[in-house]
Structure 1
Amino acid sequence: MSESAPETGANGTVTFVNRFTLHAAPEEFERVFAETAEFMGRQPGFLEHTLFRQLDKADGYLNIARWRDVESFRRAVAHPEFRPHAAALRALSTSESSLYTPRRTFAAAEASQRLE
């Protein structure tokens, strides 16, 4: 990340995307992930998350989490109580993650209205 403040969406929200590859049982990962999600859900600025399991690869998961702003996300992951959660997830998986800012949103209802 550059030294300057990251660009955010018009409303300031950011999206955290984390792709996991498991080296443990999916049930154990989902249990540990649920504990981490409970912690994150209590953090100021957390909006929502969805955990996806890859259809054609049983050891592949994707987490998409929305935060009110970059600062809220950074405070949450810097919180001392987050460290054991991160360690528990690392013990069960490898991951690749990034923060994103919304650029365009398109909804199906908008498409049907334009076709009329």
Structure 2
Amino acid sequence: MAELETLDPMTPMFAQFKERTGPVVLANTFFVPEERAGEFLPLFRRQAEFMKAQPGFVSLQMHRGTGGSRLMMNVAVWESTEALARAFGSPEFQRMAADFPDDIVSYPHIFERIDV
């Protein structure tokens, strides 16, 4: 399973799930070692297909860092934190998450729009 790290130590993602707000954006930055790049995207696509079918899902896009970066970033829009938390906590999603290699590091954080 990928290692989950917190971008903001004052508000880890699991604490953010308690905030009742929406719509929200999940920005999840992954560090993917070069030797894992070929297996990362198929695993991610399988998770993405599952998430797309969940209530409250709006959209998602995966981005890759430029200049040889080992970073990839998923930007997903959800109707609410509740919908995202339900999908993330589902046993099926957790089984898929366990398939990611241990040396991939994930930095998820939830945002809400406040301005243009």
With structure 1 as the length reference, what TM-score do the two structures score?
Answer: 0.77
Task: Specify whether residues 41 and 92 from structure 1 end up closer, same or farther in structure 2 by C-alpha distance, changes over 3 A only.
Answer: farther
Write out aligned runs for 1:5-84 (5 A): 6=19, 8=21, 12-23=22-33, 24-84=35-95
Amino acid at match of 1:6: E
Q: Following TM superposition, by how much is the alpha carbon of 1:86 offset from its aligned partner in structure 2, in angstroms?
A: 1.3
Q: Residues 20 and 82 of structure 2 are in contact (CA less than 8 Å); yes or no, is this contact kept in structure 1?
A: no
**Structure 1 runs not aligned, ≥5 long:** 106-116
Give the C-alpha shift of residue 92 in structure 1: 5.5
Structure with the larger helix share? 1
The 8 Å contact of residues 50 and 64 in structure 1, kept in 2 or not, is answered as: yes
Which residue of 1 is the match for residue 115 of structure 2? Answer: 104
Letter in 2 for 1:56: G
Is the partner of 2:72 in helix, strand or coil?
strand
> What is the Cα deviation at residue 93 of structure 1?
1.1
Larger Rg: 1
Structure 2: segments with no counterpart, 5+ residues: 1-10
Identity of aligned residues (%): 29
Shift of 1:104: 1.1
- CA offsets per residue over residues 19-58 of structure 1, 9 Å max, x none? 0001343221011100010011111001000100101234
Structure 1 segments of 4+ aligned residues over 3 angstroms from their partners: none
Q: Which has the higher contact order (CA 8 A, sep 6+)?
A: 2
